[in-house]
Amino acid sequence: MDKLFDLIIIGAGPGGYAAAEHAAKFGMKTAVIEERELGGTCINRGCIPTKSLIYAARLYSIMNHCGQFGLQFEQGGFDLKKIFSYKDDAVGQFREGIRHKFQENGITYIEGHARVIGSKSVRVAAADGSETTYGAQHILIASGARPAIPPIPGVLLPGVVTSREVLSEPVWNYDRFVIIGGGVVGIEFATVFNALGAQVSVIEQAERLLPPMDEELSENLESLLRSRGIEVYTGAQVERITNEGGLACCFTQAGVEQTLPATRILVAVGRRANIDDLTGENVSLETRNGRIVVNGDFMTSIRGVYAVGDVIEGIQLAHLASAQGIHVVEKLAGKPSSVLLSTVPSGAFVDLPIVPSCIYIDPEIASVGISEAEAKRHGISVKCGRYSMSGNGKAIISKEESGFIKLVFEAHSRMLIGAQMICPRATDMIGELATAIANGLTARHLMFAMRAHPTFNEGIAEAIRNIEE
């Protein structure tokens, strides 16, 4: 065995690098093994590159509508290769930041494919074919996930892509862009390419977009997308993809088969955990539905081997993976946990998730806690406060008056148990409400804090006041 560590982490994405940095600060001798790029999917093929494209598309849209501010923008256009270059710069800067922290904290970074070959040993196959075995007191699996490929006839035809290809090919093939999947990934790409001038269609199997989110948010989003010229087909089943006389997607909606011609088709129907070839011949991890099974402390079926992030069951979010990784490290170091993933406040008697969910479109979407419908399913009486952003001063100034804020309070105590918003800066504002839920704050507590004028954040105060009207 070549080297011994206190902790070996498989995967250098948010779950892995956050856990490694935390472990190093506790004095643990730590190694991170990554088969691809430092930063994992989030930094290289997910959050950072996607949000970079969203930001560029948003600026382009603002410039094309700058006349409403008394400004002139002539000879408007874009260079997709330069947009991708800007995106790559952002990715590289973030990646180098992680590399610097690894060096600063003495974290060993190992490139290669890792396999767990025992409760305290990992074998790494390098690109040159050589293999090295490392030992550790503890092993943390944070190998993430990749786009799922559904068994649709024709799904492997040229021109049918996943988010990975969209983010790596700076070639305009989006005049007719068909997206299979109305979840977060599909909706974000729909808004990007719609802003850049593509004719976009979204096909979703469920009866509404963003099925896990609040129904009011879904309805508002669908109306917004349609107003921008994006075609939305919900309750639709994709039957096949063809390339006879041109690429096309065939689907059935309400018993009627329809065909959409396309220059490119994006498959965005979820992600599959990276668990293939993760263990040696005599080692097996318990899995369920293609993901690793863990207990409440994220330990797998092998004692001393843990797993976090997209490789386990549950919500797939970068910040959740980081929080889970930090929780594991604190447990191993014998430190009190600084991470709270959910809370059961007195009087509510239900587990409230305090992990924010965010969608970075225009306007942004964010939620935390439970929705009004979920509360009613749990038998909780609620009072909801709503505020339309059409009256918000900052929204009026920036011409971003669409959207609303909805706060869900337990009816008797007026304790906040959920928040949903579709409005400018929603992804920044949701943190305040996650903190409020985590601490059992009531409407009265939330009103103690003064909010500056004019800000989008004033909408939260208005939504709180609404519960008494």
Look at the block and give the residue holding tokens 């050589």: 130
Question: Are the beta carbons of 21 and 101 closer than 8 angstroms?
Answer: yes
d(CA 271, CA 292): 14
Concatenating the DSSP letter of every residue in 298-343 gives: -B-SSTTEEE-GGGBSS---HHHHHHHHHHHHHHHTTPPP---SEE
**Catalytic one of 65, 378, 412, 453:** 453
Tell me which amino acid residue 326 is.
I
378 is catalytic: no
d(CA 147, CA 266): 11
**Token pair recorded at residue 4:** 């011994």
**Token pair recorded at residue 139:** 């092993």
Give the Cβ contact number of residue 33 at 10 Å: 23
% helix, strand, coil for the chain, step of 5: 35, 30, 40
**Token pair recorded at residue 55:** 């930001």
Local structure of 368: helix, strand or coil: strand
- Of the candidates 106, 122, 161, the residue with the CA atom closest to the CA atom of residue 34: 122
**Token pair recorded at residue 238:** 């994709």
Residues facing residue 251 across a β-bridge: 238, 258
Question: Are the beta carbons of 249 and 204 closer than 8 angstroms?
Answer: no
By annotation, the residues acting in catalysis are 453
